[in-house]
Structure 1
Amino acid sequence: MKTNGVVGAIISCVLGIAMAQLPAQEVPSRELADGTYTYDTLPAGTFPASPVTEFYAGTEFFFASAQARTGGRITVSFSDTTAPGVATLAFADGDGHVDFGVAPRVWIGRHLNEAWGIRATYFSFSDSEEKVPEINPAIPAVGTNFSTNYQVTQLDMRALDLDLIYSAYINDNWKLDTFVGARYSSVDIDALHHSFGVFTTGNFVNLLLANGSAFDGAGTSLGFSSRHRLNGSNLSFIWSGRGSHLWGHYDAFNRAAGTVASSPSAPLVGAETQRIDNAPGTLDIIETQLGLQYEFQVVELPINCFFRTSFEFQRWNMAGPAPTPTGFGGTIGELTTNSNAAGGPGGATLVGLSLATGFTW
């Protein structure tokens, strides 16, 4: 986990708070038609309800619990009926994963005037998990076996936004931004199951099953962000939300390949892949933040700094066709194998804590 950016942001804001302890000063608050400004005399550390700023930028780190959904399922079972014992093992997984990760977000924007502005934002989240697959409750494990079994799930998400923003100050304590924009996004979710090694004496397995789905496209976004200054202080309650609908290319696949050997019989070998490539698909994204933001002016410079902590929720859903399920199975000697990989449009849900800092100047 990279924490240097978070630590640096916190240090910058703490230093800014310390430097902000200055006497009252006059700061520009509003540009007039002739190009001059009106001025307000404000206590140190405060800022006008409608500050004259042009550029702003920030960075954010989203500490998220990720629930990825492949849109399908992988099932595997082995059964050795060799006397005197019976060995049976079965798994049902490949539907996604739950893990923790850190998603960075950066943005830069410009106020065109008091009401209108533009902003570009980039978001990224990548995570992977390796674990023992879930046991299939419908097929109880019996006896002893010696194979190695694991599952790997990977999740990769990207979003790039360009927004046109309209800002309105309802009063000195309320600000509302509404925005419309273009968004490019990609998401890729894959699950892989691997069973290999000596299953029982004289029986060897090497089985690979996988499924996954992916989307790459562009569309539109609508959203808002609101800020309510608490009791006229520099601490504000913030709430924001965004909804996006995108069109683009959708891919999905199921794969099964394996070798099962039971001496002295000849090995059982097979492989099958079903794919959907570059099919029309859609992606819907909803996201919201709820939290607190602290703002202050840095020394005598026309720069405002903020620090924000918030609860964040995101849900990404793909839509598209599902490929035909694939499987590998049969009986060789005393060892019977049955497996299936099915998939379809997947998605992901991210829930966690966001920490952000930035400047306007």
Structure 2
Amino acid sequence: MSSATLNGESVGGTKANGFYAAPRIWAGAGIGDSPFFGQLRYWQLNGSQSNTLTGPTFGSTSGTLDAYVFDFELGSRFTLDCCDATGLFTFGGRYVNWQQSSTVGSYQLPDPSQMLSATASGASQFDGTGLTFGYLLDHQIGCSNWSVFGSNRYSWIWGNQSSAAMSSATSITSPIALAASANGATASADSTLFIAEFQLGTQWKRELKCINGDAFLRLAFEYQYWNTNSDSQAVAGSFASSGPPPADVTAAGGNGPLGMSLYGLAVSTGVNW
């Protein structure tokens, strides 16, 4: 997380916290008349947030979040007579690319003879491939076209996490005092990413006799937990001071082990045949 302090006025970095669209696309095909099938899934999340600093410290802060997931799986359909439910089980491989960043750019003009500025940034990225498995259970509501369903998915991804940080601080007092510093750091380490995903919702299904298939619409609450066990962390700090009058500036940029929790509303539609 990035931060800056100018003449005792602290500015914190911004994270990409908000509500964002995250498209998920999948396609699959059955294997003959068996209950087995293969499928591909792609999911993408891109988020960003920025704030403007309006005084006495001016400038801006920003944060970004980007995640890309690609699954390639085999699965099987099954039934549970004990609870009158049908289900799907899938197992396969998953590729993940995940990036986060935070940036601060700020300045102050305490009086006509002084100018203070500070910048700080930190970014982390994970890239890897691993295993994923999940299941879905669906229970029809009476004789209607509606049902309730729940699904879980767990993934273990092995890859590399890299982090980078930069910072700079400048303090100028006219006409003779100038202080400035700039620093940077990088880090990289092997890491294991764990992802847990949960959905709970309702489904409407309609038989399409013309193509011997079922059209469906799903509405669900979704929660995801992402966490790496990496110790990779990059931190950079800068300090500058000039005067009189005293004018101190500090800046710190950093990013370390990645982790996040996501929750929202999942809406999906498609055709099974």
| 1:90-101 alignment, distance < 5 Å | 90-91=10-11, 93-94=12-13, 96-101=15-20
Give the structure 2 partner of residue 110 of structure 1: 29
Pick the aligned partner of 1:305 from 189, 196, 215.
215
Whether the 8 Å contact between 1:147 and 1:199 is mirrored in structure 2 is: no
1:132–1:317 Cα change, 3 Å: farther
The alignment partner of 1:125 has SS state of strand
Match of 2:266 in 1: 354
C-alpha contact (below 8 Å) 2:107/2:115 kept by paired residues: yes
- For structure 1, list consecutive stretches of 5 or more residues without a partner in the other structure: 1-72, 80-87, 134-143
Match of 2:3 in 1: 75
Match status 1:188 vs 2:99: yes
- Counterparts of 1:330 and 1:157 in 2: how far apart (Å)? 37
Check 1:289–1:200 CA distance in 2 against 1; reply closer, same or farther (3 A cut): farther
Q: Partner residue of 1:295?
A: 205
State how 1:245-256 maps to structure 2 within 5 Å.
245-256=156-167
Amino acid at match of 2:200: L
Residue aligning to 1:45 = none
Report SS of the residue matched to 1:321.
Answer: coil
TM-score of the superposition, structure 2-length normalised?
0.91
1:244 is aligned to 155
Q: Which moved more, 1:169-178 or 1:237-246?
A: 169-178
**Counterpart in the other structure of 1:337:** 249
- TM-score normalised by length of structure 1: 0.70
Measure the CA separation in 1 of the matches of 2:119 and 2:190. Answer: 28
RMSD: 2.1
**1:15-70: CA deviation from partner (whole Å, max 9, x where unpaired):** xxxxxxxxxxxxxxxxxxxxxxxxxxxxxxxxxxxxxxxxxxxxxxxxxxxxxxxx
CA distance in 2, matches of 1:319, 1:149: 34
Paired residues for 1:1-361 under 5 Å:
73-79=1-7, 88-91=8-11, 93-94=12-13, 96-112=15-31, 113-132=33-52, 146-171=56-81, 173-196=84-107, 198-277=109-188, 279-333=189-243, 334-361=246-273
CA contact (8 A) 1:145 1:199 kept: no
| Higher share in helix | 1
- Cα distance in 2 for partners of 1:104, 1:145 equals 38
Report the number of matched residues. Answer: 269
Runs of 4+ in structure 1 off by over 6 angstroms are none
Structure with the larger strand share: 2
TM-superposed CA distance for 1:95, in Å, is 6.8
- Mapped partners of 2:247, 2:55: distance in 1: 12
Larger Rg: 1
- What is the DSSP-based 3-state SS (H/G/I as helix, E as strand, rest coil) of the residue aligned with 2:256? coil
Higher relative contact order (CA 8 A, sep 6+): 1
Q: 1:327 to 1:345 in 2, by over 3 A?
A: same
